[in-house]
Amino acid sequence: MDLDKVKQTFILEARELLAAMEEALLGIEEDLNPGESINAMFRAVHTIKGSAGLFGLDPIVRFSHTVESVMDRVRSKQISLDPTLVSLLLECHDHLASLITSTQEGVEETPESHEGSQRLLNQLIPYLEGNGVIESTPVRVAAQPSGASEGGWNECWHLSIRFGPDVLRNGMDPLSFVRYLGTLGKIVHLASVVEKLPRGEDYDPETCYLGIELDLDTDADRQTIEDVFEFVREDSEIRLLPPHSKVEEYIAFIRAMPEDERFLGEILVAGGCITTKDLEEALRTQKAETLEDGVIHGRLIGTILIEDQAVPPPVVAAALDKQKKFQDRQAQEMKVVKVQADKLDRLVDLVGELVIAGASANAMAVQVHEPRLLEATTIVNKLVEEIRDNALSLRMVQIGDTFNRFRRIVRDVSQEMGKSIELELHGGDTELDKTIVEKLSDPLMHIVRNAIDHGIESLEVRRARGKPDTGSLSLNAFHDSGSIVIEVADDGGGLNKAKILKKAVERGIIREGAELSDAEITSLIFEPGFSTAEAITKLSGRGVGMDVVRQNIDELRGSIELESYEEAGTTLRIRLPLTLAIIDGFRVGIGTASYVLPLDLVIECLDLGPFLESEENHLINLRGEVLPFLRLREIFRMPGEPPTRERVVVVQYGETRAGLVVDRLMGEFQTVIKPLGNLFKQVRGVGGSTILGSGEVALILDVPQLIQLASEPSSGLRRRPATHLPPTHS
Task: Residue 123: give its domain's CATH number.
Answer: 1.20.120.160
**512 and 538 inside one domain:** yes
Which tops the pLDDT comparison, 374 or 253?
374
Q: How far apart are CA 700 and CA 686, in angstroms?
A: 6
Residue 724 lies in a domain: no
Say if residue 649's pLDDT is above 90.
yes
604 pLDDT band, cuts 50/70/90, is: very high
pLDDT over 50 at 334, yes or no: yes
3-state secondary structure of 690: strand
Average pLDDT, the chain: 78
| Domain total in the chain | 5
pLDDT of 343 reads 84
In the chain, pLDDT over 90 holds for what percent of residues? 4
pLDDT at 648 > cutoff 90: yes
- Which residue in 594, 592, 701, 717 sits closest to 653, CA to CA? 701
| Across 444-450, average pLDDT | 86
Does residue 203 register a pLDDT over 50? Answer: yes
In this structure, is residue 670 part of a structural domain? yes
Rounded Cα distance between 597 and 647, Å, is 14
The predicted pLDDT at position 332 comes to 55
**What is the gyration radius of the CA atoms in the chain, in angstroms?**
37
CATH of the domain at 497: 3.30.565.10
What's the Cα-to-Cα distance from 452 to each of 410, 435, 470, 526, 610, rounded to whole Å? 8, 27, 12, 18, 52
Residues 142, 161: Cα–Cα separation, whole Å:
16
Residue pair 99/52 in contact by the 8 Å Cβ criterion: no
CB contact at 8 A, 18 and 92: no
| Residues facing residue 395 across a β-bridge | none
For residue 112, with 0-12 CB atoms within 10 Å meaning exposed, 13-18 middle and 19 or more buried, which class applies?
exposed
pLDDT in tens, 66-108: 888 888 888 888 888 888 888 888 888 888 888 888 888 877 7
Nearest-angstrom CA–CA distance, 671 and 550 = 26
Question: Which amino acid, 405?
Answer: R
Q: For residues 549 and 447, is the Cβ–Cβ distance under 8 A? A: yes
In a domain, 646, yes or no: yes
Please, what's the largest Cα pairwise distance for the chain?
A: 128
Same domain, 617 and 485: no
Q: Could you report how far apart the first and last alpha carbons of the chain are, in Å?
A: 55
How far apart, in Å, are the Cα atoms of 117 and each of 52, 93, 319?
Answer: 16, 11, 36
Beta strands in 172-265 (DSSP E): 185-193, 211-218, 237-241
| CB contact at 8 A, 628 and 674 | no
Looking at the fold, whether 101 and 175 belong to one and the same domain comes out as no
On whether both 586 and 568 belong to a single domain, the answer is no
| Cα–Cα nearest to 583, from 698, 442, 437 | 698
> Which has the closest alpha carbon to 582: 700, 667, 503?
700
Q: Average pLDDT, stretch 621-636? A: 88
- 273-282, 384-393, 567-576, 612-621: which has the minimum mean pLDDT? 273-282
Beta-bridged to residue 697, according to DSSP, are 691
Q: What is the pLDDT of residue 298?
A: 59
Angle of helix 58-75 versus helix 111-124 axis, rounded to 10: 20
Q: Give 660's pLDDT tier (boundaries 50, 70, 90).
A: very high
Same-domain status, 445 and 512: yes
Mean of the pLDDT values across residues 47-64? 77
pLDDT tens digits for range 380-405: 888 888 888 888 788 888 888 888 88
Looking at the structure, tell me whether residues 382 and 402 fall in a common domain.
Answer: no
- C-alpha 689/C-alpha 428 separation (Å) is 32
User: By the 8 A CB rule, do 643 and 695 touch?
Assistant: no
Residues 347, 480, single domain; the answer is no
Q: How many beta carbons lie within 10 A of that of residue 273, not counting itself?
A: 28
d(CA 398, CA 369): 45
Domain span at 349: 341-395
Give the integer Cα–Cα distance in Å for 475 and 629. 34
pLDDT at 617: 84
Domain boundary among 514, 543, 577: 577
Which of 395, 411, 438 terminates a domain? The answer is 395
When mean pLDDT is compared across 209-218, 333-342, 612-621, the lowest value belongs to: 333-342
Are both 124 and 9 inside the same structural domain? yes
Amino acid at 678: N
Note whether residue 726 is domain-resident: no
Confidence of residue 725 (pLDDT cuts 50, 70, 90): very low
* Range scoring the smallest mean pLDDT among 263-267, 484-488, 696-700: 263-267
Confidence of residue 8 (pLDDT cuts 50, 70, 90): confident
Q: Quick one: 623 and 648 in the same domain?
A: yes
Domain at 668, CATH number: 2.40.50.180
Name the pLDDT band for 529 (thresholds 50, 70, 90): low
pTM to 2 decimal places: 0.56
Residue range 655-670: average pLDDT? Answer: 87
Same-domain status, 164 and 312? yes
User: Is 323 in the same domain as 232?
Assistant: yes
What is residue 595's three-state secondary structure?
A: strand
Half-sphere exposure of 147 (CA within 13 A, CB side): 12
In a domain, 727, yes or no: no
| Rounded-to-integer distance, Cα 419 and Cα 411, Å | 9
The answer to whether 523 and 504 have CB atoms below 8 angstroms apart is no
- Residue 725 inside a domain? The answer is no
146 assigned to some structural domain: no
pLDDT at 659: 92
Q: Where is average pLDDT lowest: 239-243, 332-336, 643-647?
A: 332-336
618 and 638 assigned to the same domain: yes
Domain final residue pick, 71, 104, 135: 135
**Confidence category of residue 331, pLDDT binned at 50, 70, 90:** low
Tell me how many helices (H) and strands (E) the chain has.
22, 25
pLDDT grade, residue 139 (50/70/90)? Answer: very low
Q: Which of 155-164, 273-282, 457-466, 524-533 has the highest mean pLDDT?
A: 457-466
What's the rounded mean pLDDT across residues 537-561?
70
- CA-nearest of 679, 668, 675 to 699 is 675
Residue 728 lies in a domain: no
* CA distances from residue 430 to 399, 434, 660 in whole angstroms, order as listed: 6, 12, 30
